[in-house]
Amino acid sequence: MNNKRDSILNRLTMLDFMAVDLHLYLNTHPNDKEVIEKYNEIIKEAEEVRYEYEKNFAPLCSFRSASSEHHFNWINNPWPWSRKFNYYIEGEE
């Protein structure tokens, strides 16, 4: 990762993906205690990383993220579909 912003965004993307995947699993296995525990751990860490990203860089969610000195970053570039927003994942084959 080139910089702090990319590495925080990468961590958040990973955690959110794990949350999406486990959440889908729990929809059809709602009583799997082990996975519920894992899911809750991931949600908790993702919340912390999300806070870290928003505090340092830009708001993530429209009408959910709290306003801060970076509030106007919402309308600013880069947007997620641009090259500039994204980063290369390390350790690829």
Where along the sequence are the contacts to another protein (CB under 8 A)? 9-10, 12-13, 16-17, 20-21, 23-25, 27-30, 58-64, 74, 79-83, 85-89, 92
DSSP state of 41: H
Closer CB to another protein, 9 or 42, in the complex: 9
> How does DSSP classify residue 37?
H
If the CB atoms of residues 33 and 84 are measured against another protein, the closer one turns out to be 84
> Residue 40, SS3?
helix
Q: How far is the CB of 81 from another protein (least distance, A)?
A: 4
Buried residues in 58-74 as b, exposed as e (16+ CB within 10 A): bbeeeeebeeeeeeeee
Q: Report the nearest approach of another protein to the CB of residue 32 (Å).
A: 12
**Residue placing its CB nearer to another protein in the complex, 51 or 74:** 74
CA-CA-CA-CA torsion sign (79, 81, 84, 86): positive
Q: Cβ of residue 54: shortest distance to another protein, in angstroms?
A: 10
Kindly state the DSSP code that residue 2 receives in the 8-state scheme: -
